[in-house]
Amino acid sequence: MTLDRESAVTSLTAIELAERRTSQAILYGIASSFLIMWGGVTAAGYLLGQAWPRHASTVWAVLMVMGFAVTIAMTRRNRGDLTGRQMTLGWRLVLAQFALIGFGVSVVTTLGPFTGRQLDAFWPLVFMLGYVLAGIWVGRFFVLSGVVIAVLTIAGFWWSGPWFPLWMAVVNGGGLLLGGFWLRSQGASL
Amino acid sequence: MNDGDPIIHQATRLKIMASLSKLAPDASIDFTRLKSILETTDGNLGTHLDALDKAGYIAIDKMFEGRKPRTRVKATSAGRRAFAGHVAYLREIIDSGGSS
């Protein structure tokens, strides 16, 4: 077959676009499961905190350990469906979450003590910073989600009165669930 | 110089192979999702998938999930090799600055 340079460039451009769109669909499909899982964990944590404020710290500790155990299990389960490069990105995102937790624990232990309400606002803000930073590389959906949830968290902190945990269950938990289901509709299930 | 692959070179088939080559070797993708990624129609995608299937470049798996028919597609190792060869051919043309 005979091809000129211009046709070759056009073909390679089409290939790059198809590859980029496929990578994004794969990422969205996988990220949706994590967002839905963390949305459920977060909503449960805030709802239980609203109902039994005195046990909130224990509830959160148990839920976070469960959430991270499931995150690691889900990342390992995806191994057969992803290329080496995609798996590397997945593990980097998991490690980034641990780095954010390390940062959060450092702040809480050095600048604290904080009230329960302050902590209820602080941790989502730390994780939403992670969404914004990750989104700069992997897609603007994550930047938008991070900014919207962070702004609503701050609004709730100042204006939701005694219903702040309930507000956060809807805004943070519900926001992640909504985002996760939207991503699932856009992504590729492998 | 490497020879191009006339089966893969057709625009839609080229994009199909590019998309499937981004999946892990054993991973497949749903027909509907592939259609949306490539921004094409059912008929167009179906026709070109058949051509690639006949060439042995892809494997098509038709199944039922409940009562809903599902079609999943993946690249075969022959398809991945052919696609990589065709991409190398395109790059050679660009690098040589002429035609082939």
Question: For residue range A147-171, what is the model confidence (pLDDT) as tens digits?
Answer: 999 999 999 999 999 999 999 999 9
Q: Which helix (H) or strand (E) holds A36?
A: helix A5-51
Reported confidence tier of residue A190, pLDDT bands at 50, 70, 90: low
Reported confidence tier of residue B100, pLDDT bands at 50, 70, 90: low
Among candidates A19, A26, A82 on the partner chain, residue whose Cβ is nearest the Cβ of B18: A19
- Which of B94, B99, B98, B75 has the alpha carbon at shortest distance from B8? B75
Q: What are phi and psi of B72, to 5 degrees?
A: -120, 145
Cis peptide before A124 (omega within 30 of 0): no
On average, the pLDDT of chain A sits at 90
Q: What is the dihedral of CA A187, A77, A129, A41, to 10 degrees?
A: 100
According to the model, what pLDDT value does residue A188 have? Answer: 65
Q: Which helix (H) or strand (E) holds B59?
A: strand B58-65
- Which of B14, B78, B58, B74 has the alpha carbon at shortest distance from B40? B14
Question: For residue range A75-132, what is the model confidence (pLDDT) as tens digits?
Answer: 888 777 788 888 888 888 888 888 998 999 999 999 989 999 999 999 999 999 999 9
According to the model, what pLDDT value does residue A186 have? Answer: 81
B interface test, pick of A26, A79, A88 with most B CB neighbours within 10 Å: A26
Q: Which residues of B touch A1 (CB under 8 A)?
A: 3-4, 6, 9
According to the model, what pLDDT value does residue A137 have? Answer: 84
Better-scored residue on pLDDT, B61 or A1: B61
A78 in reach of chain B (CB within 8 A): no
ipTM value, please give it: 0.91
